[in-house]
A and B are shown apart, each in its own frame.
Chain A
Amino acid sequence: MRILLSIVVLLASSYLHAQQTPTSYCPKGDVIIKCRKALVPFKYTNMITNRIVFKRFNHIKEISIPIYYDARYRFTFNTELVPKDIKIRIYDKSQTEKKREQLAEFESSQKQFNFEPDPESGLSEVYVNFLIPAYIDEDGSSFIKGCIILMTGYEDEVSDAFGDAEGAAAE
C-alpha cells in the first residue's frame, strides 16, 4: 500500500512539474527593472523570456533576432534566474549552417551583460545559442528549469551627437 501511495505522489508531482507555470520558476519582476536600466539610452523595442530546461543530455537552444541596417542595437541579457551555469554564444548564422562566425560569448554566471552588434557588419540577423549542459537532480527524476530575460533596444541617429552609447541609468 505504501508503494502505491508513493507512486501516486510521484505521478502527481511529475504531472504538476510538467504543468508548472513559468511565473513559478521565473519570478522576473526585479529582473525586468534591471534590464530596463541596462538598456538606457537605447529605446526599448522588445522583451522575450527564454525558458531554459536542463535535461539529461546536452542541448542547444537557438533563437534568431532580425536586425535592421543603419540601426544600433543593444541586447541586454539577464541570467539571474538560471539555476545552473550555461554558456551563451552569439553567431552570424544559424547552427544549421556549416560556416559561421562567433560574435560573442558569455557565461550565465555573469548574471547580466550586454551585446551590441556592429552596425557596419551588414548583418540582417544574429543567432543566440544557449548551451545547456546535461543535468540530473539527486533524486534522479526531476528536470530543473530557469529562464533568461532578453531585452532589446535600438538607437537612432539623434544619439550620435552624444558619443558612445553608455548607459546613464540611476542606481
Chain B
Amino acid sequence: MDKKIITALFISTMILTSCGEDSTQQVSQEEQAQDDLLNEMAEEGEDKEPEAFYLPSALQIGSIFQKSGLSYIERLTNSPSNQEQYITKSQKILNFGVYSADLAYIILNGQSQDATAYLKTIKSLSDKIGFGAVFESEELLNRFQNSLGNEDSILNVMIDIQMQTDMFVDENNLQEVTHIIFAGAWIEGMYLGVKASNSNNQHMISGRLVEQMTVLDNLVKALRSNNNQTEDIEQLTKDLNKLDKFFIRLEENKNSQKIASFKDYKISKEHLEELSIMIIELRNRITKV
C-alpha cells in the first residue's frame, strides 16, 4: 500500500509540474493514469476483505454422529480442569473449539450433570480470546441452567449461542479466529467419532467420518486464507492438509467402486485405523497440557 501511495504522490507531483506548463492534454493523461492507479488501490483493498467459507456448527456435527449411533463414553472429552494450563492464544482458541464440541457431545447424549462445567470453561476461555461479549448475558446463562435435563430446550439454547457467536464474529470481523475455533471443534468431533465407535455402529460412523472430508476441504482453505499465521497454526494447517489428501484417496476409492453416496461406502479396517491414528495424534497435540 505504501508503495502505491508513493507512486500516486509521484504522479500528483508530475501533474503539478505539468500545470506550470499549462498543457491540458498532458494533465488529462496523467489524471487518467492516476485514476487507474486509484482504482487498482481500491481493488487491492477489497481483496484484503475476509473471504466467506462455509463451516457447519459443532452442534450439527455432533448431532450427525449421534444419529448414527455414536455412544457416550465417560472421560473421553477434554477435562475442564485442563483449561488453566493453556498458555498461548492459539491453544486457548483451539481448545475453545474442543470444549464446544465436547459440550455438544455431552448435551446430545443427555449428560446434563457435566454440561454446566463445560459451559463455564467455554465462558472462561471466551473472555481470554475476545469472545466474552457472547457469553456475558445473564439471561442466556440462566436459560441454559434452567433447560438442563430438557433436551429440546437445551438444544435451542445451544443454537442461540451459536447464532450469537456467528453474529459477533461477523460484526467484529473475527472470521480468522473462528476458523481456528472450528478446527479445534472439528478435530474433537472426529476424535469422539473415532473413539466412541464400536462394532455395532462402526459402519454408520465410518461413513460419517469419511463424509467429513467435504468440510475439511473448506476448513483447510479457510485456515490458509488467514493473514496472521502463528507457527503452530501453520503446522496444524499442514497436518489437516495431509489428512485432506488421505480423504481424497478414500473418495477416489469410493468413486472407483461407483458408489454415489458416503452412506453406502464401507471404509476398510486398515483405512479406518490409519484415519484414527492421524485424528488421535492431532487431537492429543491440541489438548495436551
Are A64 and B56 within 8 A (Cβ)? no
B289 located at the interface, meaning its Cβ lies under 8 Å from any Cβ of chain A in the complex: no
The number of A-B residue pairs with CB atoms under 8 Å apart is 126
Minimal beta-carbon separation of A12 from chain B (angstroms): 10
**Cβ-neighbour of A66 out of B48, B163, B166, B215 (below 8 A):** B215
Size category of the B interface is: 35 or more
203-232 of chain B: CB within 8 A of chain A: 208, 211, 214-215, 217-218
Q: Please give, as numbers and ranges, the residues of chain A lying within 8 Å of B46 by CB-CB distance.
A: 18, 51, 53, 143, 145
Minimal beta-carbon separation of B249 from chain A (angstroms): 16
* CA gap between A68 and B67 in the complex, in Å: 12
A10-B38 contact in complex given A49-B52, A66-B54, A124-B262, C-beta closer than 8 Å:
yes
B194 located at the interface, meaning its Cβ lies under 8 Å from any Cβ of chain A in the complex: no
Are B261 and A4 within 8 A (Cβ)? no
**Cβ-neighbour of B34 out of A7, A19, A64, A145 (below 8 A):** A7
Are A3 and B19 within 8 A (Cβ)? yes
**Cβ-neighbour of B54 out of A14, A46, A56, A71 (below 8 A):** A46
**Cβ-neighbour of B45 out of A17, A65, A71, A154 (below 8 A):** A17
Are A15 and B52 within 8 A (Cβ)? no
Q: Please give, as numbers and ranges, the residues of chain B lying within 8 Å of A70 by CB-CB distance.
A: 67, 263
A3-B57 contact in complex given A15-B41, A64-B218, A71-B64, C-beta closer than 8 Å:
no
Q: Which of A63, A67, A124 has the most CB of B within 10 A?
A: A124
B170 located at the interface, meaning its Cβ lies under 8 Å from any Cβ of chain A in the complex: yes
B33 located at the interface, meaning its Cβ lies under 8 Å from any Cβ of chain A in the complex: no
**Cβ-neighbour of A68 out of B38, B59, B64 (below 8 A):** B64
B39 located at the interface, meaning its Cβ lies under 8 Å from any Cβ of chain A in the complex: yes
Q: Please give, as numbers and ranges, the residues of chain B lying within 8 Å of A49 by CB-CB distance.
A: 52, 170
A66-B56 contact in complex given A156-B63, A156-B67, C-beta closer than 8 Å:
yes
* CA gap between A141 and B41 in the complex, in Å: 11
**Cβ-neighbour of A11 out of B5, B54, B170, B215 (below 8 A):** B5
Are A51 and B49 within 8 A (Cβ)? yes
Are B54 and A69 within 8 A (Cβ)? no
B167 located at the interface, meaning its Cβ lies under 8 Å from any Cβ of chain A in the complex: yes
**Which B residues are within 8 Å of any A CB, using their own CB?**
5, 8-9, 12, 15-16, 19, 27, 34-35, 38-39, 41-46, 48-50, 52-57, 59-60, 63-64, 67, 155, 159, 162-163, 166-167, 170-171, 173, 208, 211, 214-215, 217-218, 260-263
